[in-house]
Structure 1
């Protein structure tokens, strides 16, 4: 009987191949693609995929070359035998010029990008796979449209249109990541998002407060993670990926694995990533002042300043990180969808590198022996319920509930001091969003909803004698047990006046409550609590117009706001050498008024030129300024007499600039992409004093020359940054001269720089691909604006990916 089974097998296989039905899917989303033309070389045989992406290949012979073609997708060729080995599935990639057609960030529902008057850029999974970023901060930087500052290797603080930190909003799968202690100083929460799990990232440029509320002044960064993939058959399907990445500049070793289980009504997606980063090595050719000539070690019970044998190696910049994601989806029918996501990220301790290179007051040593962040932890549980179907009041409704937990700490000890000061913060964040989509009123589409957010902050301070291990309580960074909450309602409308003219407008009202009780044990505060109740109204109005099919003109006006949070109202911290920030309960929201106009011209799908001009006016700006604490302008903080400062509504700012983009498709294989951003900003105190705005990035851009076919893609590209001279350097940056170069007059400034880079990706087989990159090929030594750590020198990157 055994030999009969083999005979039956060999008889059935050819029949299966000849009679096979296949499914054609999008390579990234996994969604079926309809209307795919499937034909042979002389087009004598043709079939078309149906609504479910299915078609039969019965008319083709088993060795005949079959071509798959669609106006929006790259042409694909295969044989029936090859497709059978792939499980009778064909995955197609979008054409470069067809990317980013649909966006979700402006209304939280799918909209055509061409109808959006506000600038929005999308970074999809294909691009992320090709650029292989170390972190999500690098993912944004690689786009060429977002500037990223780094105080240390374990960081990355985006800057958009002259705004940064708590004036930008982070969102993950529709859930706000900003919490009550997002600070005005550089933040690194974006690195908690694993780039291996990102399906798409959408960046809104300019205010997004109508949909996202407080903090969305300069822009919004939305990260959408990969969704579990349902099966198109009755049986359980299993698929997955394994990835490895190595980078020479910091001896990076990254391992990633994910897998998907799918049935017709439910699916599960699981992902795990481990990163190990060694000390970062800077470039060889550049300014000697950037070198790490010495560092501190603890030897025989005392701090010792030792010489660095390799000054290009940035000692104590190493760290490691783990990321875990588990998602479930249940879709019992075409109307209802239930999604559950569990996210976890944790870093090791990592040094605040810029604080470890600060010189002491004598200039012959270092001020700090230790300055490090404790593990940065983030957990989110996110449940979404989505209902589609026509209703009197909506065509779609989505309920999003989420719980987030944040933990971080700061630990510092001065040189030759035995006392290590520690502050530890924990934030519990609850959020509920109810969003509706209505497409029923002729050419008018309405989007509306409500949001409630509650944050509770736990904060504690301690002091440890590292010789005796004695721990005593000290002042916490924030009022322990303080709360921040907001309730808001919004409405957004899209009206198509003509087929080539679309209006988009919206309005939102937000109410914010802040409650903080101050502990007077360590500082005799002249107040016992901060009880803030404030509201904010924001709106937007704009249009997208196509006077010709190949020409788009947009105009948009919008307002944004940021309500004071716990970090603004109740923080005590060492802002810079010799200064301490104290609480200020008398704060109001800051408001931004923005106008922008854009133009996009398409020349026969061969050349696309894009340009945007913007102007933003910020009033009642929350800024750090000199202050008096209980009538005193100086107090003792951590054993040092320090100048008193506080966050105050004490300034206004003007930010304006231009953003340019170019896409040229020279042939089926060759293309060119380029971006250029120019931004200027002035901050004006209430006393009339002008200074450069702190978070205005230098002129920056890139230029890419790309060649690709079905298996190989290469990119030779140039990154560049302009100079910020001393006169254009923010006052707060001038005091940090140890991270800047010195001009001929001995004043700090940020020099211009460029890097020449190459990356490539080759599809070895249907399941195996490799990425090889060489960054900073000329080994430049440079430090990006406002950053503490020096950028990598020549960096060889190897990436391997296996799909199963």
Structure 2
């Protein structure tokens, strides 16, 4: 009897194995498997979801006349079981960029449908990033066509959103703010610390995001989501890996990357590493010759000399190298709970400040023999816990604790001066975020939480004789040991009035405090310490209306603020030749008031068009202006009589503009898309009688792409373009600090318009290998983006080989 029993059981399992049918769903162009594809049948009534390898047990759908395959970002496909059988149970889905239903996290720090968000959000996905091959995270932000990137050197990239930049826009990585106490008004390069190769997706939330993110989120929020650990879905361990090698000709880029992930039932891991080396960047040949590098400095036999550049297109002293590491560990003790720890680490080599190296006196002599940033290091330890609950005061709960360590330095020496000035900065930044959500009814959802941030700034400086090694003291850039801290509570609600209308409303209260002690032994400050404390209440109200499924109309009114930080309060530095910025202890927050309206609509799978109109008013704006220091308007700084300036609340600014675009599916795999940005920004003069162009209001820019997608192949022919600015339209600060700009017939600075033609392609050889290639700036244009100190790459050939397993 027992033998028959075992035979029967064995036959049963064999029968199950024979009748089970495995089906795979993949991307039509790349051939990569698609996880979480919803597969639905009404007759028989069956629903299933593909696993991390794009596979699903399909036997339950046997005989079904209609089976729907649905995945966000892809065109829905309907087949019968017989159709799937003819396709050998391999179903491919075509990417759809004609949708209003992308999932967005940045708007309220939880997943939300784009259709419900009453402001503009742009999302850049992993596939788009891989195809574009950005060298750094700064270049990644420009892929979508709506963020403008300023560069003072190759090792940098300062994002500009809607006329605001640097410490008026927010950088966020996996829910943690990167902005720290020394984010400055001048251009920043901190974004390159984020590894572009380890970014899973990026979202840009335009306009004030202060309700969720606090101080600094005036122009917008750039929210980076890095590679995520994935748990095993079927009890079997899963192992995946990716690697690529890339070469670019314009700066002889050599980049290597690998990432490895493993998923178990309760544990999951991700490891990622990237290394890049960049040589001096070569500019184009067709354009304004002012943007070339005809001479450069070098030291021979202890003397600083100026030599001719054999290749003026080569921007000597712009190269650098960089490496990035990421390690994530996730643990799921039981369903509905998750703990994860992440270590991020990024470092660069010395990075020349290129725009200071071609700075010249009135007679054409180079000013600086050396000017470079020391290694920029960023490390973050992040620990988070997430819990789901069907009862109580929340449905989802997440707490994120993080410590970030920033290290940076500046080193400069004037021609034939034997003393090298060295300034070292270190910031220890601690943060704690608590985010909760609760669905109170079918129509009302509540999001609420709190934040605490503490920064401590270390600042040291010296001057070292390059021959004798003698070290002498010099004033530090910031007050050493100064602190900046912020505490906040927020709440926002989403109310679905009906199937067509959704209202979002919320507010946040923040309190910010600073403490700084000044060393008067090196600089004659009229005070020895300063403390500031201020509170800020801001809010937002937005409405979305979808009269039909293919329409979205929205409007919102919101406020933002930026509290002064240590950089505003206590910095001493030379902002431009002949000027020195000194501390000002009488600062208060600046406030932004924003109104926005827009629409988006789709026409089947053929067309998507959208347009946003916005207006932002900034009051009590912080700006660098002439100042009186101890009753004097000029002082001797670093051996030069310099005009005294300080950051002050003495102005207001206003920005209004348009953002828009369209995407069209032309059929037979062809697509056409355009993104454009126009803005007009003005800031008030000191006498409050006139308005002048705003420093970061960028001239009209955009891009147009013609794409062609086939199985295993993708092509993109595109143009990028930027309008110019005459001298009269330049911001006042750019007229005085005019070195980076071309000169018109009267010798005044101006910005020439430019346009480039580019081509990129990908061959998805099989599921394991992809070959990317492209040519940027095909016509070898010589140009310099607005406010940038380094010329853009000339003709640039790119090739990358990617492997996955």
Same fold per superposition (TM over 0.5): yes
Contact 1:49–1:55 (8 Å) recurs in 2: no
Q: Does 1:213 align with 2:214?
A: yes
User: What is the alpha-carbon distance in structure 1 between the residues aligned to residue 25 and residue 710 of structure 2?
Assistant: 20
SS of the equivalent of 1:50 reads: strand
Q: Residue by residue, what CA displacement relative to the aligned partner does 1:118-175 show, whole Å, maximum 9, x if unpaired? A: 1111111111011010011111112111111000000000111100000000000000
Contact 1:624–1:647 (8 Å) recurs in 2: yes
SS of the equivalent of 1:498 reads: coil
Deviates more, 1:736-745 or 1:644-653: 736-745
Deviates more, 1:605-614 or 1:161-170: 605-614
What is aligned with 1:462?
462
SS of the equivalent of 2:520 reads: coil
Q: Residue by residue, what CA displacement relative to the aligned partner does 1:30-81 show, whole Å, maximum 9, x if unpaired? A: 743221679xxxxxx99966146564356999xxxx9994365358999x9x
TM-score (norm 1): 0.92
User: How far did residue 661 of structure 1 move?
Assistant: 0.9
User: What is the alpha-carbon distance in structure 2 between the residues aligned to residue 375 and residue 29 of structure 1?
Assistant: 40
Q: Residue by residue, what CA displacement relative to the aligned partner does 1:714-757 show, whole Å, maximum 9, x if unpaired? A: 11101000011111101111123221111222211011000000
Q: Structure 1's 13 and 767: CA in aligned 2 closer, same or farther, altered over 3 A?
A: farther
What is aligned with 1:478?
478
1:742-761 pair list within 5 angstroms: 742-761=743-762
What is aligned with 1:767?
768
Q: Structure 1's 161 and 568: CA in aligned 2 closer, same or farther, altered over 3 A?
A: same
User: What is the alpha-carbon distance in structure 1 between the residues aligned to residue 577 and residue 605 of structure 2?
Assistant: 55
User: How far did residue 668 of structure 1 move?
Assistant: 4.9
What is aligned with 1:367?
367
What is aligned with 2:302?
301
User: What is the alpha-carbon distance in structure 2 between the residues aligned to residue 532 and residue 251 of structure 1?
Assistant: 48
User: What is the alpha-carbon distance in structure 1 between the residues aligned to residue 654 and residue 32 of structure 2?
Assistant: 41
User: How far did residue 431 of structure 1 move?
Assistant: 0.2
User: What is the alpha-carbon distance in structure 1 between the residues aligned to residue 194 and residue 91 of structure 2?
Assistant: 30
What is aligned with 1:515?
515
* Structure 2: runs of 5 or more not aligned: 1-12
User: How far did residue 16 of structure 1 move?
Assistant: 7.1
1:693-772 pair list within 5 angstroms: 693-772=694-773
Q: Structure 1's 55 and 305: CA in aligned 2 closer, same or farther, altered over 3 A?
A: closer
User: What is the alpha-carbon distance in structure 2 between the residues aligned to residue 59 and residue 635 of structure 1?
Assistant: 83
SS of the equivalent of 1:738 reads: coil
User: How far did residue 98 of structure 1 move?
Assistant: 4.1
Q: Residue by residue, what CA displacement relative to the aligned partner does 1:78-106 show, whole Å, maximum 9, x if unpaired? A: 9x9xx9xxxx9989675322486111111
Q: Does 1:612 align with 2:620?
A: no
Q: Structure 1's 76 and 328: CA in aligned 2 closer, same or farther, altered over 3 A?
A: farther
SS of the equivalent of 1:549 reads: coil
User: What is the alpha-carbon distance in structure 2 between the residues aligned to residue 68 and residue 194 of structure 1?
Assistant: 37
1:131-146 pair list within 5 angstroms: 131-146=132-147
User: What is the alpha-carbon distance in structure 2 between the residues aligned to residue 729 and residue 772 of structure 1?
Assistant: 38
SS of the equivalent of 1:615 reads: strand
User: How far did residue 234 of structure 1 move?
Assistant: 3.0
Match of 2:48 among 47, 50, 59: 50
Q: Structure 1's 13 and 442: CA in aligned 2 closer, same or farther, altered over 3 A?
A: closer
Q: Residue by residue, what CA displacement relative to the aligned partner does 1:312-343 show, whole Å, maximum 9, x if unpaired? A: 00001000000000001111222101111100
Q: Does 1:651 align with 2:651?
A: yes
What is aligned with 1:70?
70
User: How far did residue 609 of structure 1 move?
Assistant: 1.4
Q: Structure 1's 48 and 90: CA in aligned 2 closer, same or farther, altered over 3 A?
A: farther
What is aligned with 1:353?
354
1:353-752 pair list within 5 angstroms: 353-363=354-364, 365-688=365-688, 689-752=690-753
User: What is the alpha-carbon distance in structure 2 between the residues aligned to residue 797 and residue 14 of structure 1?
Assistant: 53
Contact 2:97–2:663 (8 Å) recurs in 1: no
Q: Structure 1's 59 and 438: CA in aligned 2 closer, same or farther, altered over 3 A?
A: closer
SS of the equivalent of 2:673 reads: strand
SS of the equivalent of 1:314 reads: coil
User: What is the alpha-carbon distance in structure 2 between the residues aligned to residue 34 and residue 372 of structure 1?
Assistant: 53
Contact 1:158–1:165 (8 Å) recurs in 2: yes
User: What is the alpha-carbon distance in structure 2 between the residues aligned to residue 168 and residue 126 of structure 1?
Assistant: 26
What is aligned with 2:781?
780
Q: Structure 1's 17 and 295: CA in aligned 2 closer, same or farther, altered over 3 A?
A: farther
Deviates more, 1:268-277 or 1:332-341: 332-341
User: What is the alpha-carbon distance in structure 2 between the residues aligned to residue 301 and residue 342 of structure 1?
Assistant: 44
SS of the equivalent of 2:98 reads: helix
Contact 2:319–2:351 (8 Å) recurs in 1: yes
What is aligned with 2:6?
none
SS of the equivalent of 1:139 reads: helix
User: How far did residue 709 of structure 1 move?
Assistant: 2.1
User: What is the alpha-carbon distance in structure 1 between the residues aligned to residue 101 and residue 378 of structure 2?
Assistant: 30
User: What is the alpha-carbon distance in structure 2 between the residues aligned to residue 793 and residue 134 of structure 1?
Assistant: 15
Contact 2:70–2:77 (8 Å) recurs in 1: no
Q: Structure 1's 635 and 100: CA in aligned 2 closer, same or farther, altered over 3 A?
A: farther
* Structure 1: runs of 5 or more not aligned: 1-11, 39-44
User: What is the alpha-carbon distance in structure 2 between the residues aligned to residue 598 and residue 56 of structure 1?
Assistant: 44
User: What is the alpha-carbon distance in structure 1 between the residues aligned to residue 609 and residue 77 of structure 2?
Assistant: 29
Q: Structure 1's 237 and 13: CA in aligned 2 closer, same or farther, altered over 3 A?
A: farther
Q: Does 1:153 align with 2:154?
A: yes
User: What is the alpha-carbon distance in structure 2 between the residues aligned to residue 457 and residue 637 of structure 1?
Assistant: 23
User: What is the alpha-carbon distance in structure 1 between the residues aligned to residue 48 and residue 597 of structure 2?
Assistant: 41
Contact 1:295–1:315 (8 Å) recurs in 2: yes
* Superposed CA RMSD: 2.6
Q: Does 1:32 align with 2:40?
A: no
User: What is the alpha-carbon distance in structure 2 between the residues aligned to residue 153 and residue 29 of structure 1?
Assistant: 37
Contact 1:33–1:49 (8 Å) recurs in 2: no
Q: Structure 1's 522 and 52: CA in aligned 2 closer, same or farther, altered over 3 A?
A: same
User: What is the alpha-carbon distance in structure 2 between the residues aligned to residue 550 and residue 74 of structure 1?
Assistant: 15
User: What is the alpha-carbon distance in structure 1 between the residues aligned to residue 271 and residue 100 of structure 2?
Assistant: 27
SS of the equivalent of 2:39 reads: coil
Q: Residue by residue, what CA displacement relative to the aligned partner does 1:640-696 show, whole Å, maximum 9, x if unpaired? A: 111111000010011101111111111151111101100001100341242110000
Q: Does 1:264 align with 2:265?
A: yes
User: How far did residue 214 of structure 1 move?
Assistant: 0.2
Q: Residue by residue, what CA displacement relative to the aligned partner does 1:250-300 show, whole Å, maximum 9, x if unpaired? A: 000000011011101111000000000000000011111111011111100
User: What is the alpha-carbon distance in structure 2 between the residues aligned to residue 339 and residue 608 of structure 1?
Assistant: 38
Deviates more, 1:15-24 or 1:201-210: 15-24
What is aligned with 1:182?
183
Contact 1:705–1:715 (8 Å) recurs in 2: yes
Q: Structure 1's 309 and 13: CA in aligned 2 closer, same or farther, altered over 3 A?
A: farther
Contact 1:456–1:483 (8 Å) recurs in 2: yes
User: How far did residue 216 of structure 1 move?
Assistant: 0.3
SS of the equivalent of 1:696 reads: coil
